[in-house]
Amino acid sequence: MTKVLEVFNLQKYYGSKGNLTKALDDVSFSVESGEFVGIMGASGSGKTTLLNCVSTIDVVSTGKILLDGKNITNLRGEALNDFRRDELGFIFQEFNLLDTMTAFENIALALSIQKVPAPTIKEKVEQVAAKLGITEVLDKYPYQMSGGQKQRVACARAVVTDPKLILADEPTGALDSKSSRMLLESLMTLNTGLGSTIMMVTHDALSASYASRILFIKDGKLFTELRREEGEERKAFYGRIVQVQSLLGGDAEELAE
Amino acid sequence: MNTWKLAFTNMKKSVSDYVVYFITLIFGVAIFYIFNAIGDQALINDLSESGYEIVQTMISLLTGASIGVALVLGFLIIYANNFLIRRRKKEFGIYLLLGMGKKQVSRILFCETLIAGLISLGVGLAVGILGSQFLSFLVGNFFDADLSQYQFRFSLMATIKTVISFVVMNLVVLLFHAATITKYQLVDLLSARKKPETNIVSGSWVNLILFVLSAVALGYAYYRVGFRGNEIYMKEMIRLILIGIVANMVLFRSLAGFLMEAVRSLKGFYHRKLNAFVLRQFCAGLRTSSITMGIICLMLFATILSFVIGFSMANQFQGSAREKTPVDFSIQRNDGVKVTDYFAQVGHSFDEWAKNGYVEVPVYAHQGLAFEQTVGGFIAGLKEQFPRAIFWGYPAEVMALSDFNSLMRVYGQREITLLEDRYAVACTFDIFRASRDQALQSGLEIPVGDAVLKPEYTSCWDEYLMMSGISLDTGTIIIPDEVAAKAVEEGILVAQNYIAAGDFKATSRSEKREADDLINQITVGGDKMNYAMNPGDQHMIAGTKISIRESNNGLAMMVTFLVTYVGVVFLLASAAILSLKALSESIDSQGRYDILKKLGCGGKMLRHALYAQIGVFFLLPMLIAGIHSVFGVSYAKYSLSSLLSIEAGYGILVTCIVMVVLYGGYMFATIRSSEKIVRI
């Protein structure tokens, strides 16, 4: 297996001298091609900062991030935009669909920005829509769709460009449980069916249980790592996640203080 | 924190929102003051009698126009304030949530409106007072007034007028506000986002049909006005204007849907870069404000039309006055009495005031030939164009060659040479010249007694016999001296008119003016402007250098001012409304641009999208107004052609410059602030 993403000694500080907050403190890990990695942690643990650094939305303080062996921490300007456009796919909590455009156009936009010719666009959008089961909503506008449909459209937009890595930030945060399940199943389809590499940030154990590996972050540091065993039931995996979560939430020592 | 302080901080915070509004308001106030203050400017009191009369006429016209201007500015204020309130619904919601009463919120708004009103009124008046000094220099220039006597003047009347108009406008706005705030529910204020449906434009066949229908209707009106202008009378014109207005509004109503459908079918274009996004954005904006856009398009049309025609007319008035007054005086008498004899009779013989070298020549009435016969078969077209003219049966006017040439020598115009059996025609009135040229080309023969004369030239001699502001000579036949002498002997030609022309003895400006006044006193009873209404002894007309220049310059100034006043206000209001609308669109699309950024859209691509969106938003109504104007101007030229033939080139040039500077300025400023709003 090739390593898609490698993170070495990543640090991210906020604030100035004397009042320094370490949002990320010496984080190192790697993601292999075709993996579905979950990143968990309480609010303020630094998981979103990590995602922002990997997605180049935020600038790292020290450390290195390699995507496909290429260091992305020193990209600037148009090169940075090009990188984000060509190598990454995003799924956001608030869907971030353009309300003025149909589902088809929203998905197509990701390709238009890459200057893909129109006939190819149509073909690709229809392909990915069929895989995610949203063919019948392609002509609808976001306000005519359910939350789950919107999120799957957002998924489609993220994968239609064949990115090396898909980054999902609390993708189920704004969905009811049924829609959440459908979305997560879509993500599974992307992962297993299309072989997409996914990195998902979440604080929800159920969502995380769909991943194949979970990194736990606490106070900006990598706390522990859980790997779903070969043939392990999702239910059992969920149980293990909840256990770690309760550890994360606070140990007995902290309670004693 | 008291209400005033809150109002002040609010305004400081939203300065960028207010900028366009403020600038427009300041300009509006300034222009309003300037044009209302014209009458009180010192230089105007120093003008000559005819200049003074023109200015008086102009002032009453400007006062009338002020009502229209005030209405337009009032509409702008209400529109802009609505926009500003909509922007701040959430802020007001929070005030209410914090326990402020609606009354108190209304009071904050009241204070803000008052502050904005007072500042713009104050600054506007200051700009206006300075501007009006500049303008009075211009007025003086138009009339060659003495600028050394110039004094700084402040017009109390104009100030009062301006203040009252703006106080009334702002009061109306305040009432509006009070109503707006009390109408809203708290929940509406807090979630002040638009319903998503309103952002979407879907093409439908209804829009397609409406678009085609309105385009066809406009095409029909264009065709009638542009190519069949001569068939249009008043009633028909009103009908066509109504068709045009309705078609224009329907066009804008259906344009968004039509564009959406049309461009979407061009897949290659639609899915290139951010085109789809831009089109969606633009069409949504167009859809939600199609009525405003339609009205703005009509306002721009009115502006372009009046600018082009007005500036061209003014330019021609001024230019022709310089060109057509080579000597100090030209006087014509039409009862067979010599001009010199008449002047001697009334005790002011030419020797007293005219410099040696003046000429006096007779113009004969041909007893055997009517005016219409000198145009031959081509008279039909003229009769159609001038259905109320009565001179078709009058005797044709004829001059002997040497008389004509001596008059030409005085004026410094071209002389004619004729073979013994030939004739020529002197004519300066464009429409008549066209028909007469055709007659000459057809070889129309003119009988004078026994002689039958053939045309010497195939076109008219474009030189005037009398100096005059506009070229309205309908045509005089020039024949060889021998033929003329014989015909006079035989009584076929009768000396009916006499024309005298030359320079004054006087050399100084004031003496020349005295001589000029004398001539006008004797010929037309002193009323130079209105000799049709006050015709003196009814047998003379005079064209003198001073009065022609003054009245032409005066007309030029009147037209220029009127057109500038109304046109600039229309233009400012249109541009300001478009700008506010575009800015509010930008604010609404902030989130959309953020999404695009997250998707990895480069700054360059985003900027281009924003430029395209705002650029098209500004340029589309201008483009359609421009198309309207092509036909409007051609019709206006046609309908004015019986008075003067308009060379639109100058007007088009000036119009383009004004448009680029003012309209382009607003567009540029809007793009700049939008870039800031969406944080590209």
The string of pLDDT tens digits covering residues B71-126 is 888 888 878 877 777 777 777 778 877 877 777 777 777 787 778 888 888 999 99
**pLDDT for B527:** 45
**pLDDT for B290:** 87
Cβ–Cβ gap A81/B196 under 8 Å: no
Alpha helix ranges (H) inside B48-101: 49-87, 89-97
**Among partner residues B272, B276, B603, which is closest to A105 by beta-carbon distance?**
B276
- Chain B CB contacts of A118 under 8 Å are 267-268, 270-272
**pLDDT for B303:** 92
**pLDDT for B151:** 62
> Is B529's Cβ below 8 Å from some Cβ in A?
no
Cβ–Cβ gap A112/B273 under 8 Å: yes
Task: Please name the residue that has the structure tokens 């100096």.
Answer: B467
Put residue A60 in one of left, alpha, beta given phi > 0 → left and psi -120 to 50 → alpha: beta
> What does the radius of gyration of chain B's CA atoms come to, in whole angstroms?
32
* CB < 8 Å & 24+ apart, contacts of B600-604: B600/A81, B600/A82, B600/A83, B600/A84, B600/A85, B600/A86, B600/A88, B600/A113, B601/A81, B601/A85, B601/A113, B601/B274, B602/A78, B602/A81, B602/A82, B602/A85, B603/A78, B603/A81, B603/B680, B604/A78
Residue B435 forms part of a structural domain = yes
- Chain B CB contacts of A48 under 8 Å are none
Q: Looking at chain B, how many residues does it have?
A: 680
Sheet with A165-169, side-by-side order of all strands: A88-91, A165-169, A198-202, A36-40, A213-218, A221-227
Total domains present in chain B: 2
Cβ–Cβ gap B270/A118 under 8 Å: yes
**pLDDT for B622:** 94
Q: SS3 of B456, please?
A: coil
CATH number of the domain at A192, please.
3.40.50.300
> Is B598's Cβ below 8 Å from some Cβ in A?
yes
- Chain A CB contacts of B603 under 8 Å are 78, 81
**pLDDT for A74:** 80
Classify strands A221-227 and A213-218 as parallel, antiparallel or unpaired: antiparallel
Structure tokens at B398: 């004829």
For chain A, give the percent of residues with pLDDT over 90. 6
Structure tokens at B495: 């000396």
Nearest to B663 by CA among B554, B575, B590, B555: B575
- Chain A CB contacts of B267 under 8 Å are 118-119, 122
Give the residue on B whose Cα is nearest the Cα of A85.
B600
More confident residue, B513 or A39: A39
> Is A7's Cβ below 8 Å from some Cβ in B?
no
Cβ–Cβ gap A101/B273 under 8 Å: no
CB B142 within 8 A of CB B46: no
- Chain A CB contacts of B196 under 8 Å are 99, 141-143
- Chain A CB contacts of B270 under 8 Å are 118
More confident residue, B599 or A140: A140
Classify strands B422-426 and B451-455 as parallel, antiparallel or unpaired: parallel
First-to-last alpha carbon distance for chain A, in angstroms, is 46
H-run or E-run covering B447 = strand B446-448
Nearest to B580 by CA among B666, B490, B459: B666
More confident residue, B5 or B616: B616
- Chain A CB contacts of B599 under 8 Å are 84-85, 90, 109-110, 113, 157
Mention every residue, 6+ apart, whose C-beta is less than 8 A from residue B296: B574, B577, B578, B621
Average pLDDT over residues B254-282: 84
CB B270 within 8 A of CB B278: no
Residue A255 forms part of a structural domain = no
Q: Residue A135 pLDDT > 60, yes or no?
A: yes
A1 pLDDT band, cuts 50/70/90, is: low
Report the 3 state secondary structure along B188-224: HHHCCCCCHHHHCCCCCHHHHHHHHHHHHHHHHHHHH
Q: How many CB atoms lie within 10 A of CB A213?
A: 16
**Among partner residues A78, A97, A100, which is closest to B281 by beta-carbon distance?**
A100
Cβ–Cβ gap A108/B276 under 8 Å: yes
Q: How many CB atoms lie within 10 A of CB B209?
A: 12
Give the residue on A whose Cα is nearest the Cα of B285.
A100
Give the residue on B whose Cα is nearest the Cα of A100.
B200
What CA–CA distance (Å, rounded) separates A76 from A83?
A: 10
Residue A109 forms part of a structural domain = yes
pLDDT in tens, B430-449: 888 888 999 999 989 999 88
Cα-Cα-Cα-Cα torsion B234, B236, B237, B241, nearest 10 degrees, comes to 140
Strand boundaries in A15-100, DSSP class E: 21-32, 36-40, 62-67, 70-71, 88-91
Q: Residue A98 pLDDT > 50, yes or no?
A: yes
A159, B63, B600 from A88: Cα distances, Å:
9, 66, 9
Residue B248 forms part of a structural domain = no
What CA–CA distance (Å, rounded) separates A197 from A201?
A: 14
Residue A240 forms part of a structural domain = yes
Lowest mean pLDDT among B10-19, B35-44, B60-69, B410-419: B35-44
Average pLDDT over residues B553-573: 84
- Output phi, psi for A102, to 5 deg: -70, 165
What CA–CA distance (Å, rounded) separates A46 from B401?
A: 105
Residue A257 forms part of a structural domain = no
Distance from the A107 Cα atom to the nearest Cα atom in chain B, whole angstroms: 11
Q: Strand pairing partners for A108? A: none
> Is B275's Cβ below 8 Å from some Cβ in A?
yes
> Is B600's Cβ below 8 Å from some Cβ in A?
yes
Q: A-contacting residues of B 393-422, CB under 8 Å?
A: none
Cβ–Cβ gap A96/B600 under 8 Å: no
- Output phi, psi for B399, to 5 deg: -130, 150
Quote the ipTM score: 0.81
Residue A82 forms part of a structural domain = yes
Residue A254 forms part of a structural domain = no
Strand boundaries in chain A, DSSP class E: 3-14, 21-32, 36-40, 62-67, 70-71, 88-91, 165-169, 198-202, 213-218, 221-227
Cβ–Cβ gap B280/A105 under 8 Å: yes
B533 pLDDT band, cuts 50/70/90, is: very low
Total domains present in chain A: 1
For chain B, give the percent of residues with pLDDT over 70. 88
Average pLDDT over residues B616-622: 93
Q: Residue A257 pLDDT > 50, yes or no?
A: no
Q: Which domain holds residue A211?
A: 3-249
CB B92 within 8 A of CB B596: no
Residue A35 forms part of a structural domain = yes
- Chain A CB contacts of B284 under 8 Å are 100
Residue B444 forms part of a structural domain = yes
Q: Which domain holds residue B25?
A: 1-193
What CA–CA distance (Å, rounded) separates A66 from B338?
A: 107
Residue B11 forms part of a structural domain = yes
Cβ–Cβ gap B268/A85 under 8 Å: no
Residue B401 forms part of a structural domain = yes
**pLDDT for B380:** 84
Q: Residue B531 pLDDT > 50, yes or no?
A: no
Residue B239 forms part of a structural domain = no
Distance from the A118 Cα atom to the nearest Cα atom in chain B, whole angstroms: 5
Residue B645 forms part of a structural domain = no
Give the residue on B whose Cα is nearest the Cα of A105.
B276
What CA–CA distance (Å, rounded) separates B499 from B558?
A: 31
A248, B421, B539 from A224: Cα distances, Å:
9, 120, 115
Put simply, whether the predicted model's pTM sits higher than 0.80 gets the answer: no
What CA–CA distance (Å, rounded) separates B222 from B628?
A: 8
**pLDDT for B628:** 92
Residue B467 forms part of a structural domain = yes
**Among partner residues B274, B592, B599, which is closest to A90 by beta-carbon distance?**
B599
Q: B-contacting residues of A 101-120, CB under 8 Å?
A: 101, 105, 108-113, 115, 117-119
- Output phi, psi for B562, to 5 deg: -60, -45
Cβ–Cβ gap A112/B200 under 8 Å: no
Average pLDDT over residues A28-54: 86
- Chain B CB contacts of A85 under 8 Å are 599-602
What CA–CA distance (Å, rounded) separates B192 from B89?
A: 6
Distance from the A185 Cα atom to the nearest Cα atom in chain B, whole angstroms: 23
**Among partner residues A57, A98, A122, which is closest to B277 by beta-carbon distance?**
A98
Give the residue on A whose Cα is nearest the Cα of B593.
A98
DSSP state at residue B358? -
Q: B-contacting residues of A 191-250, CB under 8 Å?
A: none
- Output phi, psi for A37, to 5 deg: -100, 130
∠ CA A141-A142-A144, rounded to 5°: 70
Give the residue on B whose Cα is nearest the Cα of A113.
B273
**Among partner residues A108, A109, A143, which is closest to B196 by beta-carbon distance?**
A143
Residue A150 forms part of a structural domain = yes
- Chain A CB contacts of B595 under 8 Å are 96-98
Structure tokens at B632: 């409007």
Cβ–Cβ gap B271/A111 under 8 Å: yes
Nearest to B80 by CA among B6, B142, B170, B183: B170
> Is A164's Cβ below 8 Å from some Cβ in B?
no
Cα-Cα-Cα-Cα torsion B266, B267, B272, B276, nearest 10 degrees, comes to 80
Cβ–Cβ gap B602/A85 under 8 Å: yes
Distance from the A36 Cα atom to the nearest Cα atom in chain B, whole angstroms: 21
